[in-house]
Structure 1
Amino acid sequence: MIPSVRGPISPDNLGRTYMHEHIFVLTPDIQQNFPEEWGDEEERVADAVYRLRALAAQGVHTLVDLTVPGLGRYIPRIQRVAEQVPELNILVATGCYTYTDVPLYFHYRGPALTPLVGADVPDPMVDMFVRDLTEGIADTGVRAAVLKCAIDKPGLTEGVERILRAVAVAHHRTGAPVTVHTHPGSHTGWQVKRVLCDEEGVPPDRIVLGHSGDTTDVDHLSELAEAGFILGMDRFGVNVETTFEARADTLVEMCRRGFAERMVLSQDASCYIDWLDPNVRAFVPDWHYGHLADDVLPYVRERGVTEEQITTMLVDLPQRYLAGHEE
């Protein structure tokens, strides 16, 4: 059984699954101290319900919300939304999101104390992640289904490496699958392989390398797929440093090379993200939940991607990946 916001579900009930989305991406310190930025709570929830109902109407059954600490995760609000969209399974994640350092909270906790006390000190992040996966997040009763961390252009900083290793330990304790935000232009997937797989023993087929579709280097992506990783082609609509055609044509070529069984699809979209000035959204008009079904799938079908391959990427592979979570 796989934990969702409304309770455990059978893998057979996942259906068409978007593997890397968000509902709200927020900066809690700003929201708590400058509430006018957020606006009206009821309006925000109602807007999310409207958007997610429209997504479900396209035949999507499951959304994986990869919003973790560092991205403003707040499960009570997600519960309110989920109760009003019963036709959509919402899965949530645990972990920690940073490109460089760990949050200040952890600076003098866990391994950071080892040089001071002269003995190894366990990382408190591990128990936090495990508790989210096995008992529930805070007092909500909602269990996380996925572990999430990140490595971006700065590479394997000390803080990023610490979080990767904490995620690996939590994976081994729970069996939960792992998604890593990566920067494929810097080939950070190989750093993920060294730390998580070679040194920490996480099987690559339990890891999604998020944002792999940000590159058109299909030879690099092919090597990662051949190494056993799942590639997240999951930023359709974010066409700022690339184009719609570049993203879609990369997917077409990877399918032509036989890697449909190593890719999952999504958009990394959200109902609201406070990282962007509202005016910026005008420059990414396709960055929304409907883009994949409305625009991407018709385009790739016309260029030879089969219905069987689409089902593999949207149904079969997500089911296998998520079903590895242990009760």
Structure 2
Amino acid sequence: MTIEATIPTATGEVPVSALGRTLMHEHIFVTSPEVQQNWPDYPEQWDEDAQIAEAVQRLTALKAEGFDTLVDLTVIGLGRYVPRVVRVAEQSDVNIVVATGAYVLSELPVYFHYRGPGTPAGGPDRLAEFFVRDITEGITGTGVRAALLKCVTDEAGLTKDVDRVLRSVAHAHRETGAPITTHTHSGLRRGLDQQKVFKEEGVDLTRVVIGHSGDTDDYGYLAGLADEGSYLGMDRFGLNTVPFEKRVEIVAEMCRRGYAERMVLSHDTSCFSDMSDPVRRRELNPQWRWTHIPQDVVPALLSRGVSQQDIDTMLVDNPRRIFTVQGGY
């Protein structure tokens, strides 16, 4: 008898087969806890109940567009607080999958400077230990287990701490089998750096999503990542750092080249983020919302000859495949 694979969400385990249409790279809330705690009257004006209500409303709109699952990649460094996400999930019909890992552009928080391999005090890999605990036991006393690992390689490249995070993520992945998803600077081809480190740590690259790949039309770079086995996160639809038509064309061209089975689609947006001024953010990116893909992107892809089958592959089959392969190695 075959036992069906399941995946933890903010409201409990669900069968992987029930994920349905899935956004693989999103955020519910991106916050700065130290700023909020010390200057609660900061300009962004966080209101817990109001923001939770707005998140529920936006998830309701997403569900109405036929989407069933959202992957929240808010990890340490972006203000992750899972009890707040649970409050949203309990009022929504959308599965919310949460992550562990660290958003580190250059340097880790001071706490980690004096703990772990390569630090003055040495000792075990505290990062990997925390990541594994989030996956196997649960987060912040909620019992909600993380289903995947997140790490970052941006403009600064493989600094000492960025390299350390990638290797800790690789170790946690090897121990638990949780898939890896990343943030990259595609213009600087940082996905290659990530694949290099992961390969050195024995990671199966077919279990890795290289994020923000849709930020570039360097097709040789994209094909190279995919040919190594990794999925390409075409996950910033609505963000106008790359024009809408160009983002659509990049995905369409990769489909023409036969890479639909190696791509996932998303927006990388949030209900609330104090990473930048919220008003200006909306003005500059009016389509940066969770319903942009079903309402605008999918029709645009179809008009460029992308088949419905390829769209279903990117939105349904690939996420399901990413979470179906389980177990450490």
Q: TM exceeds 0.5?
A: yes
* CA shift for structure 1 position 38: 3.4
Counterpart in the other structure of 2:255: 255
Unmatched runs of 5 consecutive residues or more in structure 2: 1-5
Aligned to 2:3: none
Q: For 1:71 and 1:261, locate their aligned partners in 2 and report how far apart those are by CA, in whole Å.
A: 30
- Displacement of 1:39 in angstroms is 3.4
Which residue does 1:89 correspond to in 2?
A: 95
Alpha-carbon distance, 1:34 to partner: 2.3
Structure 1 counterpart of 2:47, one-letter code: D
Offset, 1:231: 0.2
Deviation digits for residues 181-229 of structure 1 (CA, Å, limit 9, x no counterpart)? 11111111111111112x1011111000000000011221111111111
Structure 1 unpaired stretches of 5+: none
Give, in whole Å, the separation in 2 of the partners of 1:77 and 1:196: 32
Task: Indicate the larger mover: 152-161 or 274-283.
Answer: 274-283
Q: Deviations over 1:4-42 (max 9, x none)?
A: 011111111100010000000111111112223433221
Encode CA deviations 1:112-164: one digit per residue, 9 max, x unaligned.
Answer: 43xx46xx632101110000000000200100001000000111110100000
Aligned mates of 2:91, 2:23 — CA distance in 1: 19
Out of 22, 30, 38, the position equivalent to 1:25 is 30
1:204-243 matches, within 5 Å, as: 204-240=205-241, 242-243=242-243
- Quote the residue 1:289 is aligned against: 290
1:5 aligns with 2:10: yes
* TM-aligned CA deviation for residue 279 of structure 1: 2.7
Contact 1:153/1:183, CA 8 A, preserved across alignment? yes
- When normalised by structure 1's length, the TM-score is 0.95
Aligned-partner residue type, residue 304 of structure 2: R
Secondary structure of 1:32's match? Answer: helix
Cα separation, 1, equivalents of 2:254 and 2:36? 41
Q: Equivalent of 1:76, from 74, 80, 83?
A: 83
Shift of 1:64: 0.3
Match of 1:105 in 2: 111
The 5 Å alignment of 1:119-268 reads 121-197=123-199, 199-240=200-241, 242-268=242-268
User: Given that residues 129 and 170 in structure 1 are in contact (C-alpha distance below 8 angstroms), is that contact kept between their aligned partners in structure 2?
Assistant: yes
Deviation at 1:326, TM superposition (A): 4.1
3-state DSSP of counterpart to 1:147:
strand
SS in 2 for 1:43: helix
Structure 2: distance between partners of 1:162 and 1:39: 33
Distance 2:230 2:48 in 1: 39
Alignment partner, residue 21 of structure 2: 16
| Identity level (%) | 54
Q: Which amino acid aligns with 1:82?
A: A
How many pairs align? 320
Distance in structure 1 (CA, Å) of the matches to 2:275 and 2:133 = 29
| Pairwise CA RMSD | 1.2
User: What's the CA shift for 1:233?
Assistant: 0.2
Does the 8 A contact of 1:2 with 1:325 survive in 2?
Answer: no
Q: Pick from 47, 51, 72: which aligns with 1:44? A: 51
Deviation at 1:232, TM superposition (A): 0.1
